[in-house]
Structure 1
């Protein structure tokens, strides 16, 4: 995957991946402690999570996003992910969670390799992906007030899984082409973390709904 990178940039690329993996470990810790967090706190934590995402990408020009920020975000994200994981585990069985994680890991690895190996600059995808992401967010908010049926949720999750899979390809392609600095590492790792966790949630919904309908 790193063959197309210059020697100078390879160590920074690897540091992004290491920071990403550590963020997943922090998220796992948050997921564990999520079972002890009162339900009433989940919405405030989700709001805090959203504010942190907005702040992270607003501060990126100043390169003010540090390691403490991303690891704290990962813990909060893990906590807020617990109700989703718990719901589908109770509805379709714990094996569905493991299947979703395995599928996420596999898809992430494949898409990351494609993004890093592709010689073409995929920056032209940025506008399309942003519009698709905003549409997903809008539908997600709408579904809070007007819940989707099982078929609608599966379709919504399939589209979400495709969009975040493409984001993985896009992010790795752009990382390969940029000169990564030490200040860039946390934000780039955060982008990969968001790709991974959102892909996982969408795959979990798909497998959970389909398994429960059997």
Structure 2
């Protein structure tokens, strides 16, 4: 084997090791954010009702700041932690309501279904699609439309309108999962940011699946 071939093989091995290390860090951050969420969710049972609406507006504000202001990315570490804690505090009441309405068996089956969908779309994005970079702009536009529709939905109590929002939201975060796994394959990610993105994707998929199941049961 020539020196150039040995160097090429060495570089290839280093690249694979670096990629494996980065993937490992992504899943560590993924679990890290779920742990923070779980802690927030636990303390959510002690959250006074009067605090929930203000915290909901704080959560919406964080989403809007992150979406519309590029400078917010500089504070991504802080914002991601605040977001995860706040969404955890607010999610306790949401999950408790779904557990009571659906019953334990249906509740956990739907969570399992959401996790399975997350894995399937992740596999599709990582192994079956070459380059999904062009999806990003369409997903972003859909996300903006979903945020606007959700704001409008606060003043419109139409079951069909809210069901459409739920279905669109579920499809959006499934596609975001596909898109993010594809970014991982192409190496266009930082471990912390990707771990947080995948946490957000799965959380929203679970919430939208439970919301849809709850609406179907009515």
Under TM normalisation by the shorter chain, which class is it? 0.7 to 0.9
Q: Does residue 166 of the first structure (1) align with residue 171 of the second (2)?
A: no
C-alpha separation in 2, matches of 1:73 and 1:165: 20
Deviation at 1:72, TM superposition (A): 4.1
Q: Deviations over 1:77-116 (max 9, x none)?
A: 1111223222222323233331232112111111111111
- The structure-2 alpha-carbon separation of the partners of 1:188 and 1:142, relative to structure 1 and needing over 3 Å to count, comes to same
Question: After superposition, where does 1:47-58 map in structure 2 within 5 Å?
Answer: 47-55=57-65, 58=70
**Which structure: greater helix fraction?**
2
Aligned 8 A contact 2:66 2:73 in 1: no
- CA RMSD, aligned part only? 2.3
What secondary structure does 2:98 align onto? Answer: helix
Matches within 5 A, 1:1-214: 6-55=16-65, 58-59=70-71, 62=74, 64-66=75-77, 70-149=80-159, 151-178=160-187, 180=189, 184-211=190-217, 213=218
Unaligned runs of 5+ in 1: none
The aligned counterpart of 2:12 is none
Query: Normalized against structure 2, the TM-score is what?
Result: 0.82
Structure 2: give runs of 5+ residues left out of the alignment: 1-14
Q: Distance in 1 between matches of 2:209 and 2:64?
A: 24
Deviation at 1:61, TM superposition (A): 5.5
Measured against aligned partners, the alpha-carbon deviations of 1:132-183 in whole angstroms (never above 9, x if no partner) come to 111111111111011221x443332122111110000001101221254xxx
TM-score, normalised on structure 1?
0.83
Structure 1 residue 210 displacement after superposition: 1.6
Q: How much has 1:29 moved relative to structure 2?
A: 2.0
1:10-41 Cα offsets, whole Å, 9 max, x none, are: 21122111211221122122222212101111
